[in-house]
Amino acid sequence: MQKQDLPTAAAPRALSGKDRLIVALDVPTMPEARALIKELAGEVGMFKVGLELFTACGIEIFEAVNEAGGRLFFDGKFHDIPNTVAGACKAVVMNKPALFNLHALGGRRMMQAAVAARDEAFEVLKEKHARAGGGRPPEKPTLIAVTVLTSMSAQALAEDLKISLPLDQMVPYLASVAQECGLDGVVASAQEASSIRLACGPGFLIVTPGIRPSWSGADDQARIVTPQDAIAGGADMIVVGRPITKAKDRVEAARKIVAELEGRA
């Protein structure tokens, strides 16, 4: 298992190891998701829900995470005309995610519409909460962008999409555009985090998927990036899936990753 070497950039946010850890609920059914949520709600900062689980379960998965006192990252990757994306953002905000995303390749108008819709819907949510009285106040959702999918190579970017800008320039450029449009951060591979941090500064959230702790198997990856590598490279939060969800003791696996993030491993 080959460990990936990355450039170093100071992590901008003073987060606990737990708050940095997002667990991917990459399972196909609601019972499997509920079991993971119940087991890990007190151990991790957030749960990521992607299109597979959302398509199978719908808004029920939002409710399950909220009821458990957890925080949810909706990995819906909105990409449509501005009006449609704005409507989707409003609908999502009312279901109280902590974090959700869209595709930066949707363009400036789409991203600006999404930010405005997020802000408008949150004001409605706050008013609704105030009228209801009591309970935990709603959290304003963080809105981040996907720049270029990690499955897309530089060759595919040039040949399939006819984008001439090299991948290592395209990613920080799109991150900068997202920042200009009012978004709070991006999803980025660990290889891209350092260049995004340099382009966008310390206040811009970087969430890094595909992390493998130092003690984990590589699964189908030839190279791995450990939690400490990702944070040193500029990431704020990491997404971990199988090393936790497929572990014999999932709570212990989560705790080991938190320890690794905090330099205690």
- CATH H-level superfamily of 2-261: Aldolase class I (3.20.20.70)
Separation in Å, CA 250 to CA 66, 109, 264: 20, 42, 19
pTM (predicted TM-score):
0.90
Q: Within the chain, where are the H helices?
A: 17-20, 30-40, 51-57, 60-67, 82-93, 108-132, 154-159, 167-180, 190-200, 227-232, 242-245, 250-261
Amino acid at residue number 86:
A
Q: What's the pLDDT at 223? A: 47
Catalytic residue list: 77
CA distance 93 to 78: 13
Burial class (CB in 10 A: 0-12, 13-18, 19+), 16: exposed
> CA-CA distance, 185 to 162, in Å (whole number)?
26
Among the residue ranges 21-35, 112-126, 147-161, the one predicted with the least confidence is 147-161
Q: What is the mean pLDDT of the chain?
A: 90
More confident residue, 259 or 6: 259
Residue 265 pLDDT grade (very low, low, confident, very high; cuts 50, 70, 90): low
Residue 6 has pLDDT above 90, yes or no: no
Distance CA 98, CA 139 (A): 7
Domain positions in the chain: 2-261
pLDDT grade, residue 93 (50/70/90)? very high
Angle between helices 30-40 and 60-67 (to 10 degrees): 20
